[in-house]
Structure 1
Amino acid sequence: MLIDKEMKLKFKETASKDPDKYYSTRVLKEEGFKRKQCPKCRTFFWTAADSETCDNPECSGGFRFIDNSPSKYKLDYIEVWTKFSKIFNKLGYTPIPRYPVAARWREDTDFVQASIYDFQPYVVSGEVEPPANPLTVPQLCLRFNDIDNVGLTGSHYTGFVMIGQHAFMPPERYDQEKYFSDIHTWLKTGLGIKNEEITFHEDGWAGGGNVGPCMEFFSRGLELGNQVYITHEQTPSGLKELNLKVLDMGMGQERNAWFSQGASTSYETTFPTVIKKLTKATDIEIDKNLMKNFLPYSAYLNVDEASNIKKVWIDISQKLNVDVNELRSKILPLAALYSVAEHSRALLVAIADSALPSNVGGGYNLRVILRRALSFITKYKWDLNLSDICEEHSKYLKPLN
């Protein structure tokens, strides 16, 4: 038996040799997409344009939607969910309320980290009926693997909304082509993106002994979401078709709002009222032109990957033709401000759902982001109150509850 990582790679290789069997190629071909292989990363992808590379930012030249979004509709953060849920309701999906982020029904995790967590293990295993089938859900999630990157990269979060599109069907009722066509409808009519601006990447997925194909969707260097089709289980004798097949589509609400508006960072589009409140209270001015130029290089400051952060700052400053001290003096306070906005929302949701900062378990992660937010407020001598910021978040998020 292979571990999940090995199984994913093996399944992806198998699927790539017979894409018509594993992916919704009929829909893609009808929409004018052609299959190609990226010469840089060797990923197979589908495009209706003349692109020769896939749309991973490392291969396609980074984010190319900032101040230049191909989305016809400029959707605010709340509107992404309300429009998505209405479109999918017409397509036969029932929108349901989110689950608590504190995953009390599971023994293997403290927090919900993806929308599919709502239905594991009992719905996915077939022991319990889903609340609706198929369904959509605006699931608030918590992840703490990139805390130090929050605020700095313009796109990292500890708390985010994963919009889920899910179905739990026996093989004879599982309609992968419809599920794929439905998410394509969102891209075309919800966001208003032309086919020439959409790229689909073939991939595989494996987890908990189950495997299946995966299709990622990109536009101008940004992954907007992906669909996983959990169709088989791994056995000693090979793959076996599941009695209950699962659709697991996860789409970042933050990313879709950011993409549609083409803003310099996703924090501006995710926390519009809070950012306005914080910038006014701290007198920080956002240099949007600098942020636009800085953002493509911000990923190089990933503290988990960069061995010499000081040198990275110097390299970025040289690329931008800005003095390194001036660059840091403008970026770091703004990154701290974004972190306070992000961490306060994550704390608000967690505490409202009965999870508390502490020294043990998942509570320790909440303690870390609470201390990080407070340390920024102290460092920059800001007259800010986290309770007031949380109250502003609560007002803005009310339509999602």
Structure 2
Amino acid sequence: MTSQQVRDQFLSFFKSKGHTIVPSAPMVIKDDPTLMFTNAGMNQFKEYFLGNSKPKHPRVADTQKCLRVSGKHNDLEEVGKDTYHHTMFEMLGNWSFGDYFKKEAINWAWELLTDVYRIDKDRLYVSVFEGSDDADNLGMDKEAFALWKAIVPKDRIIMGSKKDNFWEMGDQGPCGPCSEIHVDIRPDAERRKVDGATLVNQDHPQVVEIWNLVFIQYNRKADGKLEDLPEKHIDTGMGFERLCMVLQGVHSNYDTDIFKPLIREIEIITGKPYGKDEATNIAIRVVADHIRAVAFSIADGQLPSNTGAGYVIRRILRRAIRYGFTFLDTNKPFIHRLVKVLVEQMGDAFPELRKEKQLIENVTKEEEHSFLGTLEQGLVLLDSIIKSTKGKKVAGDRAFELYDTYGFPIDLTALILQERGYDLDMEGFEAALQEQKNRSRSASEISKGDWTVLHKDVTQEFVGYDKLEAEVKIVKYRKVKSKKEGEQYQLVFNVTPFYAEGGGQVGDKGYLEAANGDVIYIVDTKRENNEIVHFAENLPKETSGTFKAVVDKKQRERTAANHTATHLLHQALREVLGDHVEQKGSAVHSKYLRFDFSHFSKLIPEQLQEVERIVNARIDAQLPLEEKRSIPMQEAMAEGAIALFGEKYGDTVRTVRFGQSIELCGGTHVKNTADIWHFKIVSESAVAAGVRRIEAITSDAVKEFYLTNNKALNEIKNLLNNTKDPVKSVVALQEENAQLKKQVETLLRDKAKNLKGDLLNEMQEVNGVNFLAKKVDLDAAGMKDLVFEMGQAKDNMFVLLGAENNGKALLTCYISKELAAERNLNAGAIVRELGKHIQGGGGGQPFFATAGGKNPAGIQEALGKAEDFIK
């Protein structure tokens, strides 16, 4: 039974019992102060249990995506080390909101497990709450015991403690006694030796809980006391992964079809086989589990970050990266490549994965790049720290060195040390951290390690809204190096007209002029630690004087025009598409602007034209800038100002208004929309599902755009010999091209058919395999058709074809499915390896894969290596 069938049968069963099937709630919780993530199926129904809201349906069932890595349900440290703990998992559940109670919940659970799923009754055990003599003073759950006793033998009913049989969502909230259903999947011989009842709740990997029936009848208040709920409810949760393990007859969740595709892809990417050694097994399980948690979180809108829920996701992903780096020898990003497999596996049940696939891949890859750089340096240093440590406790100041110099997370250091049997002196770490803060405060001439401080206790002032020039002094400077920019200097002034990069707008450029006429060019301006920092290629000969700081006026004006245009664009999009449009990001440069916004579909040409028309109408209307500075946030919002995605605001803000458009904004703008001259959309595309991107130009860039397009149009007219109607000529050319393509495809198909017989005759038997490696004169489609035709004519076949097409090298590998399975061959892995000879790469399925490269000269070398895979 496939996992999809298991899920479908669960939902179908409860639908037949009068339940409404509801979709999973988001895994990331935005509106509950007590939870960051959904950690149980009942989270989305808490208001119903508390009686605060009336449910739409008295009975519901669903499959809920859950995450347990923080708080009471912290499973992170166990994931990968065993075969049944997970971060992200599915919880199959059925609920009653004041409708049915224990009798129906127990009877239906037993019916589904034994009649529908046909699990052997002799392998099932149930538990009942035995009561507690603590402050709650709760009695035994006699009702549940009596109901179970009517179904199963008494010796299969286990009395459970409050720890195991009283379910609570957290420190407060709905709760109640529960009955767990456990399954014993040990071999019969083992079961005869040891009674399964003695292994329940003993962390035995083959005697596991699969379903928990919670009888919610209490509410835990903030003071710890219990109160009766207005109505009694049912909340059940069955671990989907464990259920699949039982029904698929395997002994690990990771052996089910939920995880096998991911594990297979990890094996292919890393070349590390699962099952060879325990360290590799753990690492592969960690990666396979963690990509699920990360992907589902991003799909629900939670990106990795340094705070809150975002930090949890970043920590999960970084744990996976570290295991890959340490045990799978992966020093390049690879985890993002698993997203495709995950989407194929779970995209039907959870369509948000498919919708957000690109975003998930992009974010994951970016995080990998960043953390691999940190790991590369940090792990080497941590190794040396461990080797030089006497005893089993690493000094806190050494851990701080790793944290301060390399940005290596202290909790990750502690985790690695724990896994290697070491303790961390956290008190010493905290002391070193505090000492650094004290040094920073007391520093006189040198601050933050490498700043040369010329003037202390100076508060920087930004005057760039009103001036493009100012008399300034250099407060401090430092030298910086980067691979991209080389050696530069960072300068901080007491007063500056330079706008620092922020809110999507690029930083100003310009120059610094000394009293003697020497000029230092400012190549960029950024904000660091709440200071405006100016980047220069060199320093003035004398840094202690007074300088004239001058902003590049032309760049500022063009950038300001583009920034104002983004505001007008935002307003126009909301008018054309609806109020659901929200800014998700922007980039404002002097030459162009980019605007990301929430919208569910591609904009049609008519919508783009209307947006463009509205923006240009407001440019023509000569709307003046209406600016308010340092006004209370509440006042700004009351005036209708829009707060933008991802931005942080203080108690006071600046508002920028042009006609109907009013936004909170710290950027620079034109004094009047007429200064923009004209607005032109040059592209509209998708950033990710639900997020679109418009790129546009204004001012001089529009003039250049029309000049370039007009020149290109004239060239096209000349080429077509039709200056009156070039469109008609292009259409005719396209139709002719389509006809020629069909003719070429027909010729290639005929050629492939003719080749088929010849190639079959050329095949040789190598190590019991019908083998052929040959260069042919076909394109990629022709080679694919040919090998599949050959595959229908002959079994036990391994074919590698190579071809040169338009100066590019192509490889096509076909392996009979039975042969691939029997000898553990994988065409995708083979073409990836052989692709090195043609300076390219590729992939595909175990039985068919292709590769492309830029080195046709390497085709014969690749063909010559093919036989090695079957020897």
Per the normalisation by structure 1, the TM-score is 0.65
Aligned position for 1:273: 261
Residue in 1 aligned with 2:97? 168
Following superposition, the deviation at residue 138 of structure 1 comes to 0.7
> Aligned letter for 1:213?
P
Is the contact made by 2:28 and 2:302 (CA closer than 8 Å) also made in structure 1? yes
Cα distance change, pair 274–231 in 1 and its aligned pair in 2 (3 A)? same
Contact 2:49 2:174 in 1 (8 A): no
Matched, 1:381 2:329: yes
Partner of 1:180: 106
Q: Which has the larger share of helix?
A: 1
Q: What is the CA–CA distance in structure 1 between the aligned matches of 2:254 and 2:57, rounded to whole Å?
A: 32
Match of 2:113, SS state, is helix
Q: Would you say the 8 A contact 1:377–1:384 is kept in 2? A: no
Structure 2: which 5+ runs fail to align? 130-164, 185-206, 351-871
Q: What are the superposed Cα offsets for residues 298-331 of structure 1, whole Å, 9 maximum, x if unpaired?
A: xxxxxxxxxxxxxxxxxxxxxxxxxxxxxxx811
Larger mean Cα displacement after TM superposition, 264-273 or 214-223: 264-273
Report the counterpart of residue 212 of structure 1 in structure 2.
176
2:209 is the counterpart of 1:223 = yes
Q: Deviations over 1:264-314 (max 9, x none)?
A: 321221212111212233333333xxxxxxxxxxxxxxxxxxxxxxxxxxx
Secondary structure at 1:256 match in 2: helix
* Mean Cα deviation higher: 215-224 or 183-192: 183-192
Does residue 283 in structure 1 map to residue 271 in structure 2?
Answer: yes
On the 8 A contact 2:28/2:297 being kept in 1, the answer is: yes
**Contact kept in structure 1, 2:178 and 2:212, CA below 8 Å:** yes
Give CA-to-partner distance per residue, 1:117-170, whole Å, 9 cap, x none.
Answer: 1112x222222233432111111111112323211201111111111211111x
| TM-fit CA distance, 1:105 | 2.4
Counterpart of 1:9? none
1:34 maps to: none
> Counterpart of 1:258?
245
**Residue 188 to residue 394, structure 1, CA distance change in 2 (3 Å):** same
Name the counterpart of 1:246. 233
2:140 is equivalent to residue 140 of structure 1: no
Find the aligned partners of 2:24 and 2:302 in 1 and give their Cα distance. Answer: 16
- Counterpart for residue 156 of structure 1: 85
- Equivalence for 1:105: 31
Q: State the match for 2:514 in structure 1.
A: none
Structure 2 equivalent of residue 128 of structure 1: 53
1:389 shift after superposition: 0.4
Letter in 1 for 2:293: A
Residue 196 of structure 1, CA deviation: 2.1
Structure 1 residues 233 and 271: alpha-carbon distance in aligned structure 2, compared to 1, 3 A threshold? closer
Kindly state the Cα deviation for residue 98 of structure 1 after the two structures are TM-superposed: 0.3
Aligned to 2:298: 351
Using structure 2 for the length normalisation, give the TM-score.
0.31
Change in Cα spacing, 1:234 to 1:157, as seen in structure 2 (3 Å) is closer
CA contact (8 A) 1:268 1:275 kept: no
- Once residues 293 and 175 of structure 2 are traced to their aligned partners in structure 1, the CA distance between those partners, rounded to angstroms, is 31
| Change in 2 beyond 3 A, CA 1:102/1:81 | same
Aligned to 1:391: 340
Shift in Å, 1:211: 4.8
2:724 is matched with which residue?
none
CA contact (8 A) 2:49 2:229 kept: no
Distance (Å, rounded) in 2 between the aligned partners of 1:151 and 1:157: 8
Q: Distance in 1 between matches of 2:174 and 2:273?
A: 49
Question: Per-residue displacement from partner, 1:320-357 (whole Å, max 9, x unpaired)?
Answer: xxxxxxxxx81111210111111111100000001111
Equivalence map 1:82-97=2 (5 Å): 82-97=8-23
Closer/same/farther in 2, CA of residues 131 and 391 from structure 1, 3 Å limit: farther
For the residues of structure 1 that align with 2:300 and 2:105, how far apart are their CA atoms? 31
**Which whole-Å CA distance do the structure 2 matches of 1:113 and 1:184 have between them?**
25
- Partner of residue 194, structure 1: 120
Query: Cα 1:107–1:209, aligned 2, differ >3 Å: closer, same or farther?
Result: closer
1:152, 1:332 within 8 Å by CA — same for their partners in 2? no
The code of the aligned residue for 1:156 comes to H
Q: Which deviations, in whole Å up to 9, do the C-alpha atoms of 1:50-87 show, x marking residues without a partner?
A: xxxxxxxxxxxxxxxxxxxxxxxxx3322221110011
Structure 2 residue identity aligned to 1:253: F
Q: Kindly tell me the number of residue pairs found equivalent between the two proteins.
A: 281
Pick the structure with greater CA Rg. Answer: 2
Evaluate the alpha carbon distance shift between residue 274 and residue 243 of structure 1 in structure 2; reply closer, same or farther with a 3 A threshold. Answer: same
* C-alpha displacement of 1:92: 1.4
Aligned to 1:370: 317
Distance in 1 (alpha carbons) for counterparts of 2:266 and 2:226: 53
Specify the code of the residue in structure 1 equivalent to 2:102: Q
Matched to 1:127, the amino acid is N
Contact 1:102 1:354 in 2 (8 A): yes
Give the distance between the partners of 2:220 and 2:108, measured in 1 at CA.
28
Specify the SS of the correspondent of 2:241: helix
Secondary structure of 1:224 counterpart: strand
Q: Secondary structure at the match of 1:399?
A: coil
Q: Secondary structure of 2:90's match?
A: strand
Contact kept? 2:263, 2:274, Cα under 8 Å: no
Structure 2 SS opposite 1:228: strand
CA RMSD of aligned residues (A): 2.3
Query: Is the strand fraction higher in 1 or 2?
Result: 2
- Partner letter of residue 225 of structure 1? W
Distance in 1 between residues matched to 2:118 and 2:128, nearest whole Å:
23
**Structure 1 residue aligned with 2:737:** none
CA contact (8 A) 1:138 1:400 kept: no
Give structure 1 stretches of 5+ with no counterpart: 1-74, 288-328
Q: What is the CA–CA distance in structure 2 between the aligned matches of 1:340 and 1:385, rounded to whole Å?
A: 10
Residue pair 2:27, 2:296 contacting (<8 A) in 1 also? yes
| 1:79 corresponds to | 5
2:178 partner SS: strand
Question: Displacement of 1:200 after TM fit?
Answer: 0.8
Aligned positions of 1:307-346 closer than 5 A: 330-346=277-293
SS at structure 2 position matched to 1:108: coil
1:204-240 deviation per Cα after TM superposition (whole angstroms, max 9, x unaligned): 425436553311101101111110111245799x976
| Pair 286,370 (structure 1): closer, same or farther in 2 beyond 3 Å | closer
Contact 1:167 1:246 in 2 (8 A): yes
**For the Cα contact (< 8 Å) 1:255–1:266, is it kept in 2?**
yes
- Aligned-partner SS, 2:347: helix
User: Kindly tell me: are residues 280 and 239 of structure 1, through their superposed partners in 2, closer, same or farther at Cα, counting changes over 3 Å?
Assistant: closer
Alpha-carbon spacing, 1:127–1:210, altered in 2? closer, same or farther (3 Å): closer
Quote the sequence identity (%). Answer: 27
SS at match of 1:249: strand
Moved more, 183-192 or 173-182: 173-182
